[in-house]
Structure 1
Amino acid sequence: MEMGNYERNLDLIYELEQFEAELVLLKDAFNQLLSMVEYSGNPPDGCFFIFDAMQVKLERLKKLLKEMN
């Protein structure tokens, strides 16, 4: 049985709310990273994980926006 538009819209809203919460955490991590770079002049070990996570979030956002159209 296929999901109706109403149910699919509810799922998309839930996904967007989850996405927003994840972006807030990622933004905080990125701001901490910037503070570390400003303080020491060098990026800390593991900073590329934050950039990888940002790329994954951007791809997910593209997918969600495409589904909403």
Structure 2
Amino acid sequence: MEIRIVLPFDPDFHDPKSLAALEQRCTQHGREECAEPPIASVHYPPNGRVAACPRALRSIIEDAIKKFS
């Protein structure tokens, strides 16, 4: 599994029709759960490309560390 992190958040990294590109909001937590702006674009299998707020980015990194430790 390869995780690619693009800092800062880049709407062009995402599908042009995606919520990440159109609304530039965190898509890791969903519309109702997260009001924080994204700070990074992440290719995160199996979730695909997500826009990550600080909390989401920490969670993604912690999850990857657990899987590879």
TM bracket, shorter-chain basis: 0.3 to 0.5
Structure whose residues are more often helix by fraction: 1
Larger Rg: 1
TM-score scaled by length of structure 1: 0.36
